[in-house]
Structure 1
Amino acid sequence: MFRFIAALSVLGLTVLGCAAHAQSRFDGWASAVIAADWRDSDGRPIAAFDNAQRDLTTGFQRAGFDPDAMISVSLRPDVPNPVEAEDSLRRFAEAAQRARRGCLFYVTSHGSPEGLVFGPEATLEPERLIPVLRRICGDRPTVVVLSACFSGIFVDGLKAPNRMVMTAARRDRSSFGCAADATYPYFDECVLESLKTAPDFIALSRATTGCVAAREQAEGLTPASEPQTAIGATMQLLLPTLRFRPSGDRIGS
């Protein structure tokens, strides 16, 4: 009898341990993290966008996003086997065909009042991104994060009940941190820092906005970028249930 109880205890601990480590709330979500530029304002190569793409990929995977349903690419052309802009969207669409529960689309780049720099020659305007996301993600829960100057121009067009939209700046403001000596754009760095403790996307947005404001104020940067967040009605209810993997359970943390 003792051996039987002991065996059950071991089995129970094993089952509980597996359950605790197993499913993420983002299982079945497709995701894309794209560094869409590689230059500073003078056209010189910099590493900030690629650094952000690399480390945001790791951060979101640790938070619960499936590496097998994630595409993580840089659009810089000065590397072996460069990825073209259209190919990055095609790969995201393919991932979304396999993983149909939700979408995360994150782009870090330069921006203008017209749109985001998206590769060597293209500009990704709101009127182009809106149908792309509609085609790829449909009405599934979708989080869009756009880290670039003037990225607030996308907010109104992307608003939907099933979407959360985060941008690094107001529609009429620059963001900061794209100099040659920057490790990351400031917004991306604040997302990375906030991902360490934020329990969900709503908390991530609040922490990131506060982080950006504090850094800009400390460095006397004006006018403030004022990151924007829009959360649709359906997502207001859903996001608190989509919790990131607890910090202590994050693989590789």
Structure 2
Amino acid sequence: MRAAAAVIGLLALLLAPLSIARAGPFSDWSAVVVAGDNRAHSGGPTKAFDNARRDVAKALVELGFDQRSIRQLSVRPRRDPTTVVGRADGRTLAESLRASARTTKGCLFYLSSHGSPDGAILGQELLRPYRLAALLDDACPDRPTVVVISACFSGVFIPALQKKDRLILTAARADRASFGCGESDRYPYFDTCFLSSLPGAHDFAALSADVQACVARKERETGAEPASEPQVWIGPALRPLLPLYAFEKPNLRTP
């Protein structure tokens, strides 16, 4: 019996490092990725927001997120037959954030949609900054949290969301529009830059700077003005930890 116990203990010690090595820094994080609208700025249909939602979720898996811990929401969830997608509305968002973050150590929220100086479009509703702050405070309190909002005027969310353990990245200043929401656009400019910058970035701090540079370059090339000026805010408790949350990128491809 003692010999058997010793063998079991030795095996546990040998296998534990392998298990730890296999579990990356985001394996115990949750994510909610949302396409908040399906209309172009012209009022016609666009797939840009849903394309971003789908491909950001795929990219998170490549970064080391567990696919089972990623929830996706869309205005038209049934149009994605290969993925379980919930409806983009306030009630489902609250339930998804709360359920996905229940047993995890970190949280990520990503929204691609239209925006206004009062908030961002979420289906038939307007997601206001302090409403999102309350949802995140409830779902993921006192844990590292990354919030990415791809929408016009999305800088309006930063004051309400600021906490010591959060990183907030927005597609525009609070008083600026963002670009790339046309009927034929694959993604909004910001989402294009987010996805294309991932392969070269080490962590979310580096990614944020790369996205800012990418958006500025793309807007200059296309003559889009005034510049949207994506914003980034990093809480003091999270900033020194971000290098520890290094990206795994085995199969990432530039869009």
What is the TM-score when the length of structure 2 is the normalising length? 0.86
Residues 211-245 of structure 1, C-alpha deviations (whole Å, 9 max, x = no match): 00000011111100000000000111111111011
1:38 and 2:34 matched: no
Tell me how far 1:165 sits from its aligned partner.
Answer: 0.3
> What SS is found at the alignment partner of 1:206?
helix
Alpha-carbon distance in structure 2 between the residues aligned to 1:122 and 1:43: 17
Q: Is the 8 A contact 1:62 1:252 kept in 2?
A: no
Q: Is the 8 A contact 2:35 2:88 kept in 1?
A: no
Q: Is the 8 A contact 1:36 1:76 kept in 2?
A: no
What is the match of residue 98 of structure 1? Answer: 103
Which sections of structure 1, spanning at least 5 residues, go unmatched? 1-13
Which sections of structure 2, spanning at least 5 residues, go unmatched? 1-13
Tell me how far 1:60 sits from its aligned partner.
Answer: 1.1
Tell me how far 1:77 sits from its aligned partner.
Answer: 6.8
* Amino acid of the structure 2 residue aligned with 1:199: H
Tell me how far 1:82 sits from its aligned partner.
Answer: 6.2
Alpha-carbon distance in structure 1 between the residues aligned to 2:134 and 2:93: 16
Instruction: After TM superposition, list the pairs within 5 Å mapping 1:72-83 onto structure 2.
Output: 72-76=72-76, 79=79, 83=87
Alpha-carbon distance in structure 1 between the residues aligned to 2:64 and 2:111: 19
> What SS is found at the alignment partner of 1:98?
coil
Residues 66-95 of structure 1, C-alpha deviations (whole Å, 9 max, x = no match): 111110221237759861412133122111
Instruction: After TM superposition, list the pairs within 5 Å mapping 1:42-121 onto structure 2.
Output: 42-76=42-76, 79=79, 83-85=87-89, 86-99=91-104, 101-119=105-123, 121=124
Tell me how far 1:44 sits from its aligned partner.
Answer: 1.5
Alpha-carbon distance in structure 2 between the residues aligned to 1:78 and 1:54: 13
What is the match of residue 205 of structure 1? Answer: 208
Cα-Cα RMSD: 2.5
Alpha-carbon distance in structure 2 between the residues aligned to 1:252 and 1:23: 22
* Amino acid of the structure 1 residue aligned with 2:153: F
* Amino acid of the structure 2 residue aligned with 1:233: P
Tell me how far 1:18 sits from its aligned partner.
Answer: 5.4
What is the match of residue 236 of structure 1? Answer: 239
What is the match of residue 23 of structure 1? Answer: 23
In 2 relative to 1, CA 58–17 (structure 1 residues): closer, same or farther, beyond 3 Å? Answer: farther
The farther-off stretch of 39-48 and 152-161 is 39-48
Q: How many residues align?
A: 237
* Amino acid of the structure 1 residue aligned with 2:98: A
1:130 and 2:133 matched: yes
Tell me how far 1:197 sits from its aligned partner.
Answer: 1.8
> What SS is found at the alignment partner of 2:195?
helix
Deviation above 6 Å: which 4+ runs of structure 1?
14-17
